[in-house]
Amino acid sequence: MATLSPAVSDQRPRPGMAKPPIAALVLCLLGHLALVAFLLAWWREETAAPFAYRLLLGLAVAVGGIGVGGIARHLARHQLDPVRAFVPALLTLLFGLLALEAVLRAYAVPPGLWPTPSAVFARLWTARRVLLADAWQTFVLEAVVGFGIGVGWALPTALLVARCPFLQRGFMPYAAAFASIPIPAMAPVAVHMFGLGWPSKAAVVAVTVYFPVVVNSVRGLLEVDRNLLDLMRSYAADERTTFWRVRIPNALPFLFTALKLGTALAMIGAIVGEFFGATGQGLGFRIQIEAGRFGFDMVWAAILVASLLGIAWFGLIAGLERRFTGWHVSLRE
């Protein structure tokens, strides 16, 4: 029997082999140090830096970018644990923030046009109480409540449609059409119907989430491998047993795909809904008001809060997906 030679077996990726090349580490370190040195030298200046400084800054950005890219490219070739696999993303974020801060200060970009990252983080801290109240309004009362209502209506509808051929032909074409309705078109209607409070935005979120969940769930319940259905018939399984043992597990990947999409749609629907009317709170309201005042440090702080909440929510749904559909081929290692 032929066996793998040691040379071939040693080529398999292992965590211990993921040591970045010295050249990439040196370039990455030089780029970061050069950016930090420029920021320390130009932190209190309000005028644009001389041409020579800007030229050196561009060189530092290029050198650091090449170094970060080299590290990321090397680590991508190896199997890593989740902590070390996050190193390229963390380096990219740190380098990007430093480079953006340095470039904005070097060219003296007005804060009313584009605030520096340090100004955004400072505003995030000083306005933390206001932003937390806005996040509660937008995320909890509008996005999460509307998401729950939409999913709570969508799942029974999908089960009913999957069991009724008439609804599959009479309801599903309209469900697919309504799933493409733009959110800004529904928001002013909901605000006029339900008022300026959070229920109007929750209604927008519920309608926005409802149709994608219905369409994907019905698709998962119906698009089942015929071999599995034939196997269940050979076991003399009735329709109810087949439905719960085959159709429901088959629909779970489709459902979680719709739920992950729904988290983004819920945040978008809640924030856009606040553009058309609010009671004085909410991340969307804060973004609109502060943008009109050219307070873009507050605008970006509110965007950062909304983004972090959306990412955490998406991660929660993805974690539940791995928990309940780990058997699916898309999640196998």
* pLDDT reported for residue 2: 40
In 113-247, which residue ranges form alpha helices assigned H by DSSP?
Answer: 117-126, 128-135, 145-163, 165-170, 172-178, 183-194, 198-222, 226-234, 239-242
Pick from 65, 130, 142: nearest CA to 295: 130
User: What CATH number has the domain spanning 126-331?
Assistant: 1.10.3720.10
Return per-residue pLDDT of the chain as tens, 333 residues: 344 444 444 444 444 445 567 888 888 899 999 999 989 888 888 888 888 888 999 999 999 989 888 888 887 777 666 667 777 888 889 999 999 999 999 998 888 888 999 999 999 999 999 999 999 999 999 999 999 999 999 999 988 888 888 887 888 888 888 777 777 777 788 877 887 788 888 998 998 899 889 999 888 888 877 777 677 777 766 677 777 777 888 888 889 999 999 999 899 989 988 888 778 888 989 999 998 888 899 999 999 999 999 999 999 998 888 888 766 655 555
Domain spans of the chain, in order of start? 15-110, 126-331
* pLDDT reported for residue 273: 87
* pLDDT reported for residue 122: 93
* pLDDT reported for residue 260: 92
CA 238 – CA 43 distance, rounded (Å): 74
* pLDDT reported for residue 332: 56
Q: What is the pTM of this model?
A: 0.82
Compute CA 282 distance to the chain's CA centroid, rounded to the nearest angstrom. 20
CA angle, 292 then 296 then 299, to 5°: 85
Backbone region of residue 197 per phi and psi (left: phi > 0; alpha: psi in -120 to 50; beta: other values): beta
